[in-house]
Amino acid sequence: MASSATQICGFLAIPVKYKESSGASHWLYCKAHSVRVKTAGKPVGRTLFVVNVPAFFTEDCFQKMFGEFGTVSNVFFHKKPTASVPEEETSNFFKKSEPVKGYKVAYVVFEKSSSLEAVLKLKWKTPKVLFRKQDKAPPSAVQRWNAAYDEQITAVADLQADIDDFMRKFDEKAKGEAGNLKESEGQADEDGWIKVTKKGRKPGLARKESVEQRVLQKESKKKAKKELLNFYTFQIRESKMNHLAELRHKFEEDKKRIAQLRQSRRFRPF
């Protein structure tokens, strides 16, 4: 492992310079990725967890940093630590998730576990320079802004081609599901049950586990809400009954007091 000088709260501190002429270093903090819920995309033993990653850092930056230790098979960026892997983007126009902006965390996945061990064993006394003089100059902030602006201008032909491709895949998937449903009609499952489906203009809800789960969740919410409402109604009714009982008790006490006053004021000549 790294020396105590480069260890902070269990993280390995790595100084980084954007280029050789940079006067200051930026610090990245890394440790081996370790979670209870394991995912295939971020295998434990081959994944490096990195925090304090600046906005300009890209996958290419991590390739330059850790490429000498072995092949970097993947890099994932998130706004905060996340066990899952981002969804794969299939469209250039309809993104499944927003791009991560500003400071972020990264998961660097190596091809071999020995690469991760080598990174964590190094002392990292001198800053790692990302772009040297002989390297191709990275795009400046203005160039990145210009590229981001150009990406916002949509080519109608490309957009239409993307939509057509999506609809083609959707139709193929729907056709395949309909074929599988037709084949399974009238056939008993492992427990001997036969799936019954409704056809027509209003076929109703699909007999899927996800749909059934949503229906059950909706029913449980309704039940909980009704129970809560009944509880409040019972509270109100009980409060009213207690108030009436107090009024009756007070009325009886007032009657006794008035009777005593009348008795004490009665004229007695003898």
In a domain, 193, yes or no: no
Q: What is the pLDDT of residues 84-93, one digit of tens each?
A: 888 777 777 7
Which amino acid is residue 128, in one-letter code? K
Same domain as 17, residue 96 = yes
Q: What are residue 198's phi and psi, to 5 degrees?
A: -105, 130
User: Domain boundary residue among 107, 141, 175?
Assistant: 141
In a domain, 149, yes or no: no
For residue 77, the domain's CATH number is 3.30.70.330
Residue 130 confidence (pLDDT) above 90? no
What confidence tier does 238 reach under pLDDT thresholds 50, 70, 90? confident
In a domain, 20, yes or no: yes
In a domain, 126, yes or no: yes
Q: Give the β-pairing of 104-110 and 7-8.
A: unpaired
Find where tokens 């998937």 sit. 173
The per-residue pLDDT for 1 is: 40
| Inter-CA distances, 242 with 43, 58, 235, 247, 249, Å | 64, 69, 11, 9, 11
45 φψ region: left (φ > 0), alpha (ψ -120 to 50), beta (else): left
The candidate with the shortest Cα–Cα distance to 60, out of 135, 118, 143, 115, is 135
Residue range(s) defining the domain that contains residue 254: 205-270
Same domain as 137, residue 10 = yes
Which residues are CB-contacts of 187 (< 8 A; sequence separation ≥ 6)?
194, 195
What confidence tier does 37 reach under pLDDT thresholds 50, 70, 90? confident
Residue 110: both structure tokens together:
């190596």
Same domain as 216, residue 129 = no
Tally of domains within the chain? 2
Q: Which long-range contacts (CB under 8 A, 24 or more apart) does 179-185 make?
A: none
Same domain as 128, residue 8 = yes
In a domain, 152, yes or no: no
**Cα angle: 160, vertex 161, 165; to 5 degrees:** 115
User: Domain boundary residue among 118, 141, 164?
Assistant: 141
Same domain as 232, residue 106 = no
The per-residue pLDDT for 222 is: 78
Find where tokens 């964590």 sit. 120
In a domain, 195, yes or no: no
Same domain as 218, residue 123 = no
User: Domain boundary residue among 141, 164, 191?
Assistant: 141
Quote the CA–CA distance of 217 and 178 in Å, as a whole number.
Answer: 27
In a domain, 200, yes or no: no
Same domain as 239, residue 137 = no
In a domain, 187, yes or no: no
- Average the pLDDT over 249-258 and give the result: 88
- What is the pTM assigned to this prediction? 0.57
Same domain as 135, residue 214 = no
- Average the pLDDT over 110-123 and give the result: 93
DSSP string, 186-204: T-B-TTS-B-----SS---
Same domain as 222, residue 132 = no
Quote the CA–CA distance of 78 and 100 in Å, as a whole number.
Answer: 6
Residue 155 confidence (pLDDT) above 90? no
180 Cα distance to chain centroid: 33
What confidence tier does 2 reach under pLDDT thresholds 50, 70, 90? very low
Q: Give the β-pairing of 11-19 and 128-131.
A: parallel
Highest mean pLDDT among 99-103, 114-118, 120-124, 231-235: 114-118
Q: What is the pLDDT of residues 177-212, one digit of tens each?
A: 887 777 766 666 666 676 666 555 555 555 556 666
